[in-house]
Amino acid sequence: MSQAALHPMLNTAVKAARAAGSIINRASLDLDILRINTKSPNDFVTEVDQAAEAAIIDILLQAYPGHGILAEESGREHGAKHSEFLWIIDPLDGTTNFIHGFPFYAVSIALAHRGVVQQAVVYDPSRNDLFYASRGRGAFLNDRRLRVSKRTRMSDALIGTGFPFRKGDNFKRYVKMFEALMPLCAGLRRPGAAALDLCHVAAGHYDGFFETGLNPWDIAAGSLMVTEAGGLIGNFTGEADYLFQREVVAGSPKIYGQLVQLLSPFSRVIKPDDAGADDATPAVAQPTPEEALAASLGTIATPGEVDDGDPAPAVPERKAVRIRKADMPAPAPERAAPKRRPPRA
């Protein structure tokens, strides 16, 4: 799909992403004068994040004033509050990389309609790489169609990840995941921008990816890239409510299935009686992705809030269903052999 044939809403997102990318590229030329604030320990925001976000929101709302906005730095301050259309924006995913001059960061923009992501753009300004996808029309990198990798064995797989870094993140739980996966795969990589990581899963550069503690703006656009490239994405138990569970796993179908098997014991989406003392969470009914997205104002931490350890509601206990074999009918009684008459004289 050439960029000239893009959906109008996706075209608008591309325009907004490139505008934000120009702001980021100009700022990258003189990082020494950059003003940096700390939202929480190891979680930074710069004037570039804010300027890029403002540029994105301005372009989107000029084109679609009746749409809603969910953005990392400004939350739901802008746009219509009750629209069926919601733009999910991360103006600079990988801020820590950016302020150190490490060229792995991106602009991430997704459009959800009634809770389902329909359009997605992830723009890497340092490489001028544009990833984009429309639901049902495939994922692309600079006009080249993307497909997930064909590797099927975990021993051959390169897996992307992200380390916990915020105050309150459960680092011990992550170390256990790392210990479980590291000996089984070809390698683990942690560049530090989840939106780009998911795009590299879609491109087949990674065979899989997992991370905890992520927000919807970190993964909304990348999630559509993965599925449109033939991959799978879910939470650690393989369910589809990953946007709001603060845990995500993605990959080619074969590797995804193996990752879910390995990571499901570490999920926060578990029964309360199975949770450890550090991981116990109250049991609540799980919303559908549509319900969760519609209620995002109440379910997503507002920008600047400190992460308190990957909070995620637990699913209600599911009773095992026993499948009984049908009772076999009793065998019919054997017929007695007919008596033979003696031969006539």
pLDDT at 37: 75
pLDDT at 179: 93
Residue 189 is encoded by which pair of tokens? 């990589």
Q: Which of 338, 341, 173 is nearest to 270 (CA)?
A: 173
Domain ranges of the chain: 3-145, 154-299
166 and 306 in contact (C-beta within 8 Å)?
Answer: yes
Residue 108 one-letter amino acid: S
The CATH architecture assigned to 3-145 reads 2-Layer Sandwich (3.30)
pLDDT at 268: 80
Tens place of pLDDT per residue across the chain (345 aa) = 666 567 899 999 999 999 999 999 999 998 887 777 766 555 567 889 999 999 999 999 999 999 999 998 888 889 898 899 999 999 999 999 999 999 999 999 999 999 999 999 999 999 999 999 999 999 999 999 999 999 999 999 999 999 876 665 677 888 899 999 999 999 999 999 999 999 999 999 999 999 998 999 999 999 999 999 999 999 999 998 888 888 999 999 999 999 999 999 999 864 434 444 344 333 334 444 445 555 544 433 333 333 334 333 333 333 333 333 343 344 444 444 455 555 554
The three-class DSSP label of residue 194 is: helix
CA R_g for the chain: 25
- pTM for the whole structure: 0.77
309 and 281 in contact (C-beta within 8 Å)?
Answer: no
Q: Which of 187, 181, 198, 95 is nearest to 146 (CA)?
A: 198
CATH for 154-299, options being 3.40.190.80, 3.65.10.10, 3.40.50.300, 1.10.3720.10 = 3.40.190.80
Residue 182 is encoded by which pair of tokens? 């590291």
Q: Rounded distance, CA 149 to CA 157, Å?
A: 9
pLDDT at 20: 97
The three-class DSSP label of residue 55 is: helix
Report the DSSP pairing between strands 158-161 and 208-212.
parallel
Residues paired with 40 in a beta bridge:
43
